[in-house]
Amino acid sequence: MPVIGVAGGIASGKTTVCKLFEKWGATVIDADIIGKQVVEKDPNLLSKLVERFGDDIINHRGILDRRRLGNIVFKDQSARTQLNDMIHPALLSELKKQIGEWLTRNPDTIIIIDAALLLDWDLGSLVDLIIVVKSTSKQRMERLVKHVGLTPEEAENRIFSQSHLDSKSEQADYIMTNNGHITELEHQAEEVWEKIMKNPKLNIQNSKLNIQNSKGLSNEKR
């Protein structure tokens, strides 16, 4: 079964799309969660992060405070590059491992990789299709401040750090735009899911993943 990457800037709505795909039968692998796990599992990696970025990135429980780390790297390109160089090898290794495990466990599943920076990674050999979810900076700013609790400055730094993603969206097989109501995004997700099911390149045979059996779930949510 295919492996599909879903990319998009912070607060673009890509995780919402991934959750819809999961409801319709896909298996979602969240790269952000893997990023947290690889640091928690490797004390040496955490020590290197502290050595580079300072003791302030550790909270009172001795756990990495990702918001504090984000406040450092999202306004400093050099620091962000160093962070990526430190974490991404372990993250990508674990990602490949989990893809292999899921394909072995359930060969009929569609695997969705939820990864903001998917277009920055060399994953061409791993994914069969790429979906990009786009949204305006204004919309993303509002979501980060209202729903995530970031300050306007924090939100702006995070959005600006990913400004290059728009220029890479041409690599996508499908593009969704999330600037309106959630139901509009759901409709787009349904349309893309139908196209995925019918894509001859993917050779999807499992009837359990048919969008006709999934629309009822989407309607219930509304």
For residue 131, the domain's CATH number is: 3.40.50.300
pLDDT at 121: 77
195: its two tokens: 């196209």
CB 135 within 8 A of CB 13: yes
CB 16 within 8 A of CB 185: yes
In this prediction, the residues of the chain whose per-residue pLDDT falls under 70 are 122, 124, 205-222
pTM of the model: 0.87
pLDDT at 183: 95
Q: Which domain holds residue 193?
A: 3-221
pLDDT at 130: 93
pLDDT at 205: 66
Closest listed residue to residue 87, CA positions, set 28, 153, 142, 41: 41
Q: What residues contact 129, with CB distance under 8 A and at least 6 apart?
A: 2, 4, 5, 173, 174, 196, 199, 202
CB 43 within 8 A of CB 126: no
Count how many domains the chain has.
1
pLDDT at 210: 53
